[in-house]
Structure 1
Amino acid sequence: MNLIETVKDAGIVGAGGAGFPTYVKLSAKAEVFIINAAECEPLIETDKYLMRTFPDEILEAAELVASHLGAVRKVIALKSKYQKEIDALQKAIDRKKSSFELVKMNSFYPAGDEQALVQLVTGRSVPERGLPLDVGAVVNNVGTMLNVFEALEGKSVTDKYLSVVGEVEKPIMLYVPVGTAIQECINQAAPLLEEYDIIVGGL
């Protein structure tokens, strides 16, 4: 089974928020492949956790995807203040003698926006209503890369890492089945308010 079929059969969609089918993104050739590790919302911790915990797995999948796309430039873009994550990824890059480069961004919102990321990394502006592919780039979230790695190991997307933060007693990282009720996740973090709004970032 080839990469496209593996990704499609595993049910992988963009983990950064849009939920776009990953196999469609990978059915192309691109000059630049960018891993979006910026995690733009200031409180969310999930991508940072994944980078610290699974740097080798993320990089292995990213190398395979970059080769599939024919990318000549390979980038992981993340905020410069993510020092622990930078250290973990750089050690993985060194271990694998990878040609991926780390692009370190200032902390501004929406640093994780796909179009802003492409412009920062390549200097090219994605046209209005366009896609990064229009300027020779493909962007995937760091969580998507972990899902690709697991798909190559024979695992479909049935569970998801997510963080519950904000006005809670214990900010937590969870690994739960897809379809788990949001309220169930919130209850595990022990909200401090009786009434609150819920902001969902990522998918």
Structure 2
Amino acid sequence: MPGSELNAIINKIASAGVVGAGGGGFPTAFKLKTGTPIQTVIINGAECEPLLKVDQELMARYPAELLATLATLVQATGAQTGVIALKEKYREAHTALAGEIRNYPGLKLHLLPDVYPVGDEHLLTYSVTGRTIPPGGLPLQAGAVVLNVETLYNIHQALEGHPVTHKYVTVTGAVRQPITARVPVAPRCGNSWPWPAARL
């Protein structure tokens, strides 16, 4: 069973304020702090909302950091494997990850079709593991933990000693130049952005 290594990771994640970055906001430390055996750590890179690009950008730009962090989680939780699931059409992200994953024999890439809602936890867990989550249940009941790509990146930052102070967002639609930006958490918003936004 996982022991001191996982507890140390959980403490760092909790101290850094890492929560689910995919929209749920559930404290990530609680997902990992369980007595139930974890067989598979799944990273959800499906990003089903058609205009969002955050996870795609992170996978393309930080493949080494994401894979190293996933490998750390797999080892600490005692899982059998770690899987990054992303849509097959995300070519740049897939190429970047494929170039690094050969260094991690316990990790896999799982390519998904371009259909909605393939990123749903129930569908994703079944697609990756072949195991079904009970109605109203959680991935853990199928031996899996599912984390968002940005959440995994925030875990990487937490393990490096950096708290969550920023959020990655897609700025698109009726704008001159769509971008993915890193912005401060809980800024004061008005007609313009009075805070610095770093382009990813």
The TM-score range, normalised by the shorter chain, is 0.7 to 0.9
Matched, 1:147 2:159: no
Distance 2:51 2:189 in 1: 17
Distance 2:193 2:112 in 1: 31
List runs of 5+ in structure 1 lacking aligned partners: 189-203
Matched, 1:22 2:28: yes
Number of aligned residues: 187
Correspondence for 2:101: 93
182 and 39 in structure 1: CA distance in 2 versus 1, 3 angstrom threshold: farther
List runs of 5+ in structure 2 lacking aligned partners: 1-6, 196-200
Amino acid at match of 2:77: L
Aligned ranges 1:158-169 → 2 under 5 Å: 158-169=165-176
Query: What's the CA shift for 1:76?
Result: 0.7
Give the TM-score, by structure 1 length. 0.86
147 and 185 in structure 1: CA distance in 2 versus 1, 3 angstrom threshold: farther
SS in structure 1 of the partner of residue 127 of structure 2:
helix
Give the TM-score, by structure 2 length. 0.87
Query: What's the CA shift for 1:84?
Result: 0.9
Identity of aligned residues (%): 43
Distance 1:119 1:186 in 2: 41
1:103-139 deviation digits (Å, cap 9, x = unpaired): 1010011111111100111122211211000111110
SS in structure 1 of the partner of residue 46 of structure 2:
coil
Distance 1:67 1:154 in 2: 20
Aligned ranges 1:125-140 → 2 under 5 Å: 125-140=132-147
Q: In 2, are the aligned partners of 1:76 and 1:102 still within 8 Å (CA)?
A: yes
Amino acid at match of 2:32: L
2:57 to 49, 57, 63: 49
Query: What's the CA shift for 1:181?
Result: 4.5
Amino acid at match of 1:26: L
2:85 to 77, 99, 104: 77
Matched, 1:156 2:163: yes
Indicate the RMSD between aligned Cα atoms, in angstroms.
1.9
